[in-house]
Amino acid sequence: MSSCVQYPAVGCVVEYFDANALQIAIVLEEVSGKLRLMLPNRRETKLAANRVLPWIGAPVAGFASMSRDDMVKVLEAARGKRAQLGAGMDAIALWELVQGEVDKAQAVFFAELVDSSPDVDAVAATGHALLACRTHFRFVPPNFEIYNAETVARREEEKKKQEEREKFIGQAAPFLRLLYTVASHRAELPPQDKWPEESVQARLEEMLRKQMIEPDASGTVWQTLVKGLNDEPLLPLRLLLAWGKLEPHYNYWLDKAGYAPGDDWWHRQEAAARALADNPNIARLEPLDLPFVSIDGDSTEDIDDAFYLEGHEDGSMTLTLALACPALDWPFGSKFDALVRDRGTSVYLPEGDYHMLPGFLGTDALSLRAGNTRPALVFRQDIDRDGRPKDLCTFEVRRVCLADNLRYRKCQEVLDGTAGEDNPALAHAAMLGLAAEFSRRRQAYRISCGAVVLNKLEPHIALEGEGSDVKVDLVPGKPASEAQNMVAEMMILASASAADWAVNKRVPIIFRTQSADIPQKYAGVWDDPVLMTEIMHCMVPSILETQPRKHAALGLSCYAPMTSPLRRYADLVNEAQILSFLADGTPRFAQKELDDLLLVLHMALDGAGQIQRFRPRYWKLLFFAQQGEERWWHGIVTEENDTQFSVALPEYDIFLRGRKKLFDERTVPGSRVVLRIGRVNPLYNEMQILEVLPEEAMPQQADYMDDFGVDENTATGEE
């Protein structure tokens, strides 16, 4: 039997929990269930008797005559003995003895399994061991509940995870704070031997990358790590950059969109991809012997459209397009198809192009390279002398061989009459001249239908160097050339005619719509920044949907993109719908299937759209940051509100807002100003106007700006 007593009296040594810590004390006084206790540090406290743990020793002999020093010695001796006994206590062995035999018991029961007559210190030591073994026992005063084997296994796994979590936080939290000081330029990254152990590093890097992609998906561990820090959305990115896990100027928008850069993302489905390269059905296609030519930018490698244009005596024209035909053998529903669909579109950035299709397909096997026979979806449409389409367009599947792959610059030289004898576009001068006339007629016709053409000047962004040494050159943009406009008008006509054809044939197809109510007064071609800003307020973004609706800005009753099947998945699907209908009168996808496909495609296109919008803007802002805050820029005020003016730099396609107090009191929309720009943070898409002057107020600055190669029409701003 043990020497424990049931109720604490004066002189008894007791234990209790305070703030989850085990305390030992001696009872000085007991009144109606209230105890006055003395602790080993000689402090006194009050405690309800029911909070005392159920191992209470008999009153200490001679307590009445004890000094406080004597009481402290008693407590220290008891605490030491219990610690010594507890060190040799095996709680799991006790669990194994009783598991399955009893459900619960007091500490004295377990102590008696070891010693038939345990003293109070032995019972207390046993209680301590059971309290520490939370995977096997649960303390519900005065008893310890005994977990079964299944519960023990589960709790041991939870304990292991908790220990790993605490270990991770213990090492990761201080290191993360160190990275924060490095990112804030207040410290340097220490050598690797000062970093956490490798397993902690790996988990921390994985967590940072996940948070960079999904900042709203943070868990409790992340919240613990960043407690006290400025937990803003780009913090994980900044920490990874400071750690050196990402190269300077890292394009994290690719990660957020799940868009794999490079050209090895398709290797998991290499067999399916390679099967498309052979164009297995090309042999059964009839040839079409027309001298098609393509016109693209100097860097374009994926050639997916070419044209042949004929003029007739009555002033009408016939446009024939040869469109690359990946849909002819496309494995819809396959894993390879899903990979391509999840990319959604090609992305063109200053640092390089990321193609929707593997390079060997999009820029080689399926690309309309001159001199190579390729399958093609052939589109044909007649227009009258006013640019109006005549009847429905027609489609057929043929094999073609292009006469030439031309470039905008060379074609424009022919149109301008400045082409040298070695210009390959000279051989097609007559058709290029006809195409320029086609473009003028078509644009005039669309404007008569309400089309709005905004001549935004998109600058050329050139990068030199690598990593932190990269330098940005921003070449002011120029209006689209006549060669570019005529190709654009051909593609617009084809997509509009395809939409009309699909509606007439009742073929489900993907339309691009813009249901904005644009006043008729805005129909036309505009290049004035103030008017363009005003017009933009009437616009809404275009969307993809399966219902035919108008595209207001293009001046079209409906529009179905289908001319870039190598670059855009929606065009690939539309081409498949047309091909399937031509083959057997049945579209590849029913209306419901097309709606379901669009739900998935929209997510991919939203991500790719963010890459295409924000990444070039990052480089633009880095350019302004590298120019410094002392340089002056020409700007045009485009609009005002109660507190701010908006300023455009048209040739750089940038807009900024500035507080009115920075501007001259005579400033109105249309005013030309010069301004200094500073506090540029490309990562956060931020920059500010520091100083503004009326352009006429500082004529001496014109020479200063010309020294930097800036002409009088240069402007800046923020989207």
- Quick one: what percent of the chain has pLDDT higher than 90? 85
| Residues paired with residue 13 on neighbouring β-strands, in sequence order | 26
Residues 293-350 have pLDDT tens digits of 999 999 899 999 999 999 999 999 999 999 999 999 999 999 999 999 999 999 999 9
Nearest to 14 by CA among 64, 99, 75: 75
Report the SS3 class of residue 262.
coil
Q: What is the pLDDT of residue 157?
A: 92
Q: What are the structural domains of the chain? A: 4-147 (no CATH), 151-246 (no CATH), 267-615 (no CATH), 628-706 (2.40.50.140)
With tokens 């001496």, the residue in question is 700
Residues 204-248 have pLDDT tens digits of 999 999 999 998 777 889 999 999 888 788 999 999 999 999 999
Give the single-character DSSP code of 363.
I
Residues 33-89 have pLDDT tens digits of 999 999 999 999 999 999 999 999 899 999 999 999 999 999 999 999 999 999 989
Nearest to 566 by CA among 324, 296, 337: 324
Q: What is the mean pLDDT of the chain?
A: 92
- The pairing of strands 13-18 and 4-5 is unpaired
Q: What is the pLDDT of residue 698?
A: 65
- The pairing of strands 293-296 and 404-407 is parallel
Residues 436-445 have pLDDT tens digits of 999 999 999 9
Q: How far is the C-alpha of 105 from the C-alpha of 121, rounded, in Å? A: 18
Q: How many other CB atoms sit within 10 Å of the CB of residue 495?
A: 24
Does residue 715 have a pLDDT over 50? Answer: no
Does residue 188 have a pLDDT over 80? Answer: yes
pLDDT band at 20 (very low <50, low <70, confident <90, very high): confident
Q: How many other CB atoms sit within 10 Å of the CB of residue 467?
A: 8
Residues 215/223, Cβ–Cβ less than 8 Å? no
Q: What is the pLDDT of residue 478?
A: 87
Sheet holding 293-296, edge to edge: 389-401, 373-383, 317-324, 305-311, 293-296, 404-407
Residue 3 identity: S
* pTM for the full predicted model: 0.83
| Residues paired with residue 354 on neighbouring β-strands, in sequence order | 347
Q: What is the pLDDT of residue 347?
A: 96
End-to-end CA distance of the chain: 84
Nearest to 621 by CA among 493, 391, 485, 459: 459
- Quick one: what percent of the chain has pLDDT higher than 70? 97
Residues 356/270, Cβ–Cβ less than 8 Å? no
Q: What is the rounded (10 degree) CA torsion for 507, 513, 515, 521?
A: -120
Q: What is the pLDDT of residue 231?
A: 76
Nearest to 566 by CA among 340, 332, 271: 340
Q: What is the pLDDT of residue 2?
A: 61
What DSSP line would sit under 593-614, residue for residue? HHHHHHHHHHHHHHHHHHHHHH
Does residue 700 have a pLDDT over 60? Answer: no
Give the single-character DSSP code of 364.
I
Q: State mean pLDDT over 351-371.
A: 94
> CA distances (Å), 470 to each of 473, 597, 693, in order?
10, 40, 32
Q: What is the pLDDT of residue 568?
A: 98
Does residue 379 have a pLDDT over 50? Answer: yes
Q: How far is the C-alpha of 323 from the C-alpha of 332, rounded, in Å? A: 19
With tokens 């016939």, the residue in question is 318
Residues 482-528 have pLDDT tens digits of 999 999 999 999 999 999 999 999 999 999 999 989 999 999 999 99
Q: For residue 22, give both structure tokens.
A: 């085990």
Q: Specify the range with the lowest mean pLDDT, choosing from 24-38, 219-233, 613-627.
A: 219-233
pLDDT band at 706 (very low <50, low <70, confident <90, very high): very low
